[in-house]
């Protein structure tokens, strides 16, 4: 069984597992991550959330999603990247 190893990510404002990208205590995040493997950003908008245009998919973090598939921060910026 996988044991989560969480670290806080300033971008998400949440603790995120460095191995599987699980966002501790969240079902979806404006960065695009979602428990359902869907598009967390769009799921939040559909639920009536307001997301500032500088954040989330389509803003600062449009590179977090590639055709709706979440890519981890480490995959994008390398293991030694600062958050």
Question: pLDDT means per 10 residues in the chain (83 residues)?
Answer: 91 90 92 90 90 57 44 53 49
Task: Identify the CA nearest to 11 among candidates 32, 27, 37, 35.
Answer: 32
pLDDT for 60 equals: 42
Unique residue bearing structure tokens 């803003």: 59
Report domain extents, the chain: 6-77
Please list, residue by residue across 60-71, b when 16 or more beta carbons sit within 10 angstroms of its beta carbon and e when fewer do: ebeebbeeeebe
pTM value?
A: 0.62
């Amino acid at each position: 069984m996988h044991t989560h190893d969480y670290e806080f990510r300033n971008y998400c404002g949440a603790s995120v597992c460095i191995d599987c990208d699980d966002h501790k205590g969240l079902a979806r995040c404006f960065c695009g991550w979602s428990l359902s493997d869907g598009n967390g950003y769009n799921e939040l908008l559909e639920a009536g959330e307001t997301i500032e245009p500088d954040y989330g998919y389509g803003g600062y973090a449009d590179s977090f999603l590639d055709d709706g598939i979440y890519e981890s921060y480490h995959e994008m910026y390398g293991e030694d990247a600062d958050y």
